[in-house]
Structure 1
Amino acid sequence: MTEEINISEITSRCLEESLAFKVQKRLHEKIDDYADYAFSPIQSSALNVFFDLSQEYESFHDLLAVCVLVPKVFFNLECNLFLLRDNRVEMVATCQENCPGMKSCRQDSLRIYSEPQVINDCFYLPIKGNRDLLDQLPFNLHQGLIGMLELYPVHTINEHDRLFFQKYANRVGFQLHMRMISWKNEEHLQFINALVKDIGHNVIVPNMFFKIFYRRLEAHINALEKLKNDMAARARAARDNPEEALINSRELLPRLEYIHNGLKEQYTEILNHYEQTSLFLETLLRRSHFEQGKYVLERKVCNFKSQIIDPQVERFTPQFREKGIDIALAGVPDQEIEVVVDKGLISQVYANLFSNAVKYTRQVTDFSGNRAKFISYGWEYKPDYFGSEKPGIKLNVFSTGPHLSPEEQASLFREGFRAGNVGKEQGTGHGLFFIKEIVEMHGGEVGYEPTPLGNNFYFVLPLSEPSTL
C-alpha cells in the first residue's frame, strides 16, 4: 500500500513538472514572438485597452462596439464587424455614428474569407474562434470562422500594420467566441426555466383533471358492480318464475345502458386528454429546442378547424358543461382554413385560451334581458393585414364577463400578470405570456378587445396563400 501511494505521488509530481515546463516553454516562445512582432507603443496600448474593456463590459453588444472602435480611436481606420448568422453574413457593428447610412466597401456577395484579403481599398480579416471550444457553439463553423473584420482605407495600412491587425482579429475572435458561449449558455438556462414553466402550466396542471376522470370512472365501475350483484340476486329469486325474470331484465336494462354510456363518455374524455397531453409533451420536449436553446418551429400545413380547434373544444367541453358555460356556435364560419403552423404549439395556444375561459367566464345579462354565460370562437380573413398582398387570419376566443380595466389591458400579456377579476381561481399568469411568445414566433400578433357582453382574446397569423380560405 505504501509503495503504491509513493508511486502515485511521484507520478503526480512528474505531471505537474511536465505541465510547468510546457507553460514555461510557451511563455518564452511568446516573448520571442512579440519581440519579432515589434509592435509600436500605440499598437501595444491598443491591445491592452482592448483586453481591459473586453473584460470590463459584460454586454455582448458593448463588446462588439469595443471591437470596431479600437481601430477607429487608435488608428483612425473605419471598421465594420460581420458575423455568421444562420449561414448568412451580417454586419453587427460599425464605428460609424450613423449606422443606417453606413456603406461597407463590398456590398454584394459578402462572405467570410479564410485568409486576409484586400478588395476595393478595404482590408478583410477572418475572425476565428477558439479551436478547442468550437463544439460548444450550437452551430457548425466552417474552418472555425465566426466572422470578419473590415478595415479601410487600406492604402494607409502598411505591411507591419497588417500583421498587427491580423493578431488583433485573432484576439477579437477569442473574446467573441467566449462571450458567444456564455451568451448561448445563458440563453439555454433562460429557455429551460421558461420550458419548465410551460410544461407545468400546459401539461402538469391540466393533468390534475385525470383525478376527476378516474373518480367518475370509479363511480361507474362501482355502479356496474352493484348492477351485477342485483342481477345475480334477481336471477336467483326468479329461477322458478320466468315471467318475473323478464320483468327484472326490463328494469335492469336502462341501468345497464346508463352505465355503458357513462363508461363510453369517460373513455372518450380520458383518450382525448391523453392524446393532447402526449402532443404537448412531444412538442415541448423536442430535441431541437434543447440543442438551440429556444423553441424551434416545425411548420406544417394544418386544417385549423379539424386538427387544432375541434380537438381542443372537445377536450374542454366537459369542463364548460361542469361550470354551466354554453358554447355559442352561431358565429363560427363554415369554411375550413389551412395555415402553415407548428400544430403542437398552436394547439397549446388554444388550450390556454379555453382554460382561461373555463376559469373566468361569468354570467351577464344579454340583449334580451336574459341571464347568459357562454363562450364562442371563430376566425376572420384579414386582407393586407401584414402589408400589401400579405393577408392574415384573425382567430379569437370570446367569453362573457366584466371588462378589464385599461391598466390591466396594457399588462395582460406580461409574464406573471394576473388581472383583478381572477378571484379565487388558481393560476400563475403564465398562459397569456406563452400565447404571445408562440404567436410572435409564427410572425403573428396577439391582442385583447372589450366587446359587448364580455372579453375577446385574439391572435392574427400570416397567411401565405389567400386562396386557402
Structure 2
Amino acid sequence: MTSAWDDDVAGMGFDPGPAGDPAILDRQVIDAVARRIHQKMDDYEAYNFSTKQSISLNVFFDLAQEFPHVEHLYAVCLLIPKMFFDIECNLYVLDSKSGAIRRCAYSCADADAGELADLPFARKTTIRDDRLFIPIKGNHELISQLPFTPREDVFGMLEIYPVSRLSEHDRLFFERYANRFGYQLHNRILATKNKEHLQFIRSLVKDIGHNVIVPNIYFKLYYKRLRSKIDLLKFFEWKLKQFFEGEAEPAAAAALEEDLPATREKLLRDLGYIHEGLMDQYRQILTHYEQTSLFLETLLRRSHFEEGRYVLEKRACNFKKQVIDLQLERYRPRFEERGIEIDTSLGGVPDQEVEVVVDIGLVSQVYANLFSNAVKYTREVTDPASGQRRRFISFGWERKENFFGPGKDGIKLNVFTSGPAIPPETAAHLFEEGVRGENASGEYGTGHGLYFIREVVRLHGGVEGYEATALGNNFFFVLPMDPLV
C-alpha cells in the first residue's frame, strides 16, 4: 500500500531527458530522498519535541545560515540553551587549524592541554559530576575532508549542566541539538577550508607569474645572445675555410702565408673569445634554468595543494653558498648592464658563513625578489667619501641576540640599494599587496614581490622591514635561529 506522498512522487513525471543531462533528477535519487523524508517525519513524531524546543531548533538553523563565521556559530550553539531553557553549557571543539582542543564558554580560547586531558571524547553521551557530555559528530562520509583528524569521528563535545534539571526527554533534545550543530560546524569548516584553498590558489598564480613566468623573459635574451655567438662562430668557420682550402684571393692568401705566426695567434685569440662567450651564455642559461626549476618545484609541491597553504620543507643550509651566492650570480649580469656596483661594506658581515634552517626554495625566491627590485630601483647617489656619483647595492647579515625573546636569537638579512629614500607614507605600506614606490615609474612590476617576501618570512616565524638610510634604502628580514626539529 502506498501513501499519498508516494503517489505524489510517482506522479511527478520526471522526464529522463537527454542521456547524461545533469539537470534531470534520476528516479532513484527521488526515491532515496523520499524515503529519508518519511523516516524523518517518523523520527520527529517520536521525538515529540515541545513547541519551545522546536522553535529553538528553527532559530538555530536560521542563525546558523545568517552568521558567516565559525565563531558566530559557536556563540549561537552556546546561547540557545541559555536563552531558551536557562541551561548552562560549554563547548569543546578541535581547532580547525591545529587540531588542538578549544574551550568556548561565551568566549572562545585555546585551553591548556592538561586541563582538558580527561575530557570524555567518545561516541556516546557521558554523564560526569552532574554534567552531560554529548559528542559532536559531523557527516561520516566527509570526515576525511576535515583539515584535522577527529577522534573516532568526534571533533567536539557539548557540555550541558546541571544534569539534575534535565528529564530523559530533555537529554534526547540536546543530543539532537548537538547533532544538528555538528553537521553545521562540519559544513562551515569545509566551506572555510575550500575558501582558503581558493584564496591560496589565486595567490599561488600570482607567485608563479611574478617569480617564474616574468623572469622567464630573460631566456629570450639569453638565447638571442647565444645565437649571436653561434653566428660569429659560423663567420669564423667561413674565414678559416677561405684560408685553409685556398678560397681566399691570391694576394690575401700570400699575405696570410707570410704572416702565419701572427695569424695563428689571432685565430687562437678569436677562438678563445668565441669559446668564452659561448661558455658564459651556457652558464647563464643553466643558472636561470636551475633556479626556474627550483622555484617551480617549490611552488607546485603537492603538499601545498593538499593543505591549501604553503607547507615548509625546512632544512639546515649554508645561507651564503646555497641561497645568496646563487641568486647574486644570477642577477650579476643585470647589475653590470645597468652600471650597478656590488659593495658589501654596508650590509653586515657578508663573508661570515651562517647556517640557518629554512625552506631553501622559498627563501631563494625572497632574495630573487630583492635582487630583482635592486636591478630596477637602484639610483645614483654622491659618495661622501670620494665625492663621486655611484649606483650600488650591498648585502649582508648580522646576528640579533634575544630578538624573538630570551635565548631566541635571530639573523637579520639585509639588501641595500642606493638612491632617494622612500617617503614614510609609502614605506609604511611597502609589504602590502599591490603597493609600489614612487620610484617605480617606468619599471615593470606588479607590487607583488614584497608581499610575497612578507608571506614567506612570516611563514618562517620571522619579520620583514624597511629602513631609510643616508645613501638609500635597506630592505631586511629577520629569521629565527631555530635548530631543525
TM-score (norm 2): 0.87
* Aligned equivalent of 2:66, options 56, 62, 65: 56
Matched, 1:228 2:237: yes
The answer for the alignment partner of 1:363 in structure 2 is 380
The answer for the alignment partner of 2:135 in structure 1 is 126
Cα deviations by residue, 1:184-233 (Å, 9 ceiling, x for unpaired)? 11111111110000000000000111111111111111111111111221
The answer for the alignment partner of 1:386 in structure 2 is 404
Does the Cα contact within 8 Å between 1:302 and 1:340 map onto a contact in 2? yes
Does the Cα contact within 8 Å between 1:394 and 1:459 map onto a contact in 2? yes
SS at match of 1:355: helix
**What's the offset of the Cα at 1:101?**
11
Overall identity of the aligned pairs, in %? 54
Distance 2:335 2:41 in 1: 77
Matched residue type, 1:90 = I
Structure number having the greater helix percentage: 1
Q: Structure 1 residues 233, 403: closer, same or farther in 2, change over 3 A?
A: same
Distance 1:16 1:337 in 2: 65
SS at match of 1:143: coil
* Aligned equivalent of 1:212, options 221, 224, 228: 221
Cα deviations by residue, 1:231-287 (Å, 9 ceiling, x for unpaired)? 221222459985543332222221111111111111111111110000000000000
Does the Cα contact within 8 Å between 1:323 and 1:358 map onto a contact in 2? yes
Distance 2:332 2:28 in 1: 73
Does the Cα contact within 8 Å between 1:325 and 1:361 map onto a contact in 2? yes
Q: Structure 1 residues 273, 84: closer, same or farther in 2, change over 3 A?
A: same
* Aligned equivalent of 1:420, options 422, 438, 441: 438
SS at match of 1:302: strand
Q: Which runs of 5+ in 1 are unaligned?
A: 1-6
Matched residue type, 2:371 = F
Q: Structure 1 residues 107, 8: closer, same or farther in 2, change over 3 A?
A: closer
Q: Structure 1 residues 87, 417: closer, same or farther in 2, change over 3 A?
A: closer
SS at match of 1:296: coil
* Aligned equivalent of 1:340, options 323, 345, 357: 357
SS at match of 1:408: helix
Does the Cα contact within 8 Å between 1:364 and 1:372 map onto a contact in 2? yes
**What's the offset of the Cα at 1:59?**
2.3
Cα deviations by residue, 1:326-368 (Å, 9 ceiling, x for unpaired)? 1012343432111111110011011101110000000000112
SS at match of 2:407: coil
Does the Cα contact within 8 Å between 1:138 and 1:291 map onto a contact in 2? no
Does the Cα contact within 8 Å between 2:295 and 2:365 map onto a contact in 1? yes
The answer for the alignment partner of 2:8 in structure 1 is none
The answer for the alignment partner of 2:12 in structure 1 is none
* Aligned equivalent of 2:93, options 58, 73, 83: 83
1:58-457 residue pairs with structure 2 within 5 A? 58-85=68-95, 88-91=99-102, 93-95=104-106, 107-110=116-119, 112-235=121-244, 236=246, 237=248, 238=253, 243-330=258-345, 331-368=348-385, 369-457=387-475
Does the Cα contact within 8 Å between 2:102 and 2:109 map onto a contact in 1? no
**What's the offset of the Cα at 1:173?**
0.9
Q: Structure 1 residues 301, 409: closer, same or farther in 2, change over 3 A?
A: same
TM-score (norm 1): 0.90
Q: Structure 1 residues 72, 332: closer, same or farther in 2, change over 3 A?
A: same
Distance 1:76 1:456 in 2: 60
Does the Cα contact within 8 Å between 2:233 and 2:274 map onto a contact in 1? yes
Q: Structure 1 residues 439, 16: closer, same or farther in 2, change over 3 A?
A: closer
Q: Which moved more, 1:25-34 or 1:358-367?
A: 25-34
Matched residue type, 1:399 = T
Distance 1:322 1:395 in 2: 25
Q: Structure 1 residues 22, 248: closer, same or farther in 2, change over 3 A?
A: closer
